[in-house]
Amino acid sequence: MTGQLVRHEEAGGVATITLDSPQNRNALSAGLLRELDEALTWALGEPGVRVIVLTGAGPVFCAGADLKEPKAAQVTTAFPDILSLIWESPKPVVCRLNGTARAGGLGLVAACDFAVAPETASFAFTEVRLGVAPAMIAVTCLRRLDPRAAAEYFLTGEVFTARRAAEIGLLTRAVPDEDLDAIVAHYTGMLLRGGPEALAITKRLVREVPAMPVEEGLRRMAALSAERFTSEEGQEGIRAFMEKRPPTWVPGDAS
């Protein structure tokens, strides 16, 4: 399906959502955020979608807020909902950065479970140089970034490379430009092999378990482990392993 500013399509269990406003470097306008919300809501509600890929059209993934946007208040209201949809998504979200990202665009990157960018891409938290602050995106970015690096780049607004972005936790990987699609396909293919319920639960574990006291964590995780082994999905996975076949949730072309 094609919208004015955001496109979405599905193939083989993977929904690809594309920011399609290259004329302003996919800036976060009220219109783009509205269409992005609609596309994400569609992907989350579509039973056939197992994995979501977020990408952009043109040479820039996202330039951040649209500074020419006359409806700035609407952008401020809508953007937290978008970040929450991605962060809380029970379906894994892979960010395929087609190029450079700045400011608010990095909030989208950090909200995704995986983020892969070409080595030629660059990044910057430019807010302080405009006299504003990276307030909303701090919620997702500070959960990914090394604290020293966050202070360095939030406070200076300095441009940094994709390799550096991977070193400090903003990216999963920085890859040669010609390898971008193959690496994204590698991740989506691997994710399609995981049980949908198991993936949703494991996403929460990654975020929540580190904050638990050890004794509480062990107790709760032991109960969860037992529940998963006896669940319908867990039983199907075990049967498939024993019978040397793909589980029923794996699409035919991913097995």
Nearest CA to 65 out of 157, 19, 127 is that of 127
Distances (CA, A) of 23 to 66, 106, 136, 216: 12, 19, 25, 51
* Known catalytic membership, residue 167: no
> Which member of 69, 88, 127, 227 is catalytic?
127
Beta-ladder partners of 100: 60
Q: Looking at residue 14, what DSSP letter applies?
A: E
Token pair listed for 99: 């190029």
What sections of 46-99 are H helices per DSSP?
72-88
DSSP label at 237?
Answer: H
3-class SS at 104?
helix
Bridge pairing between strands 6-11 and 14-19: antiparallel
Q: Judge contact between 60 and 122, C-beta under 8 A.
A: no
Q: What residues are labeled active site?
A: 127
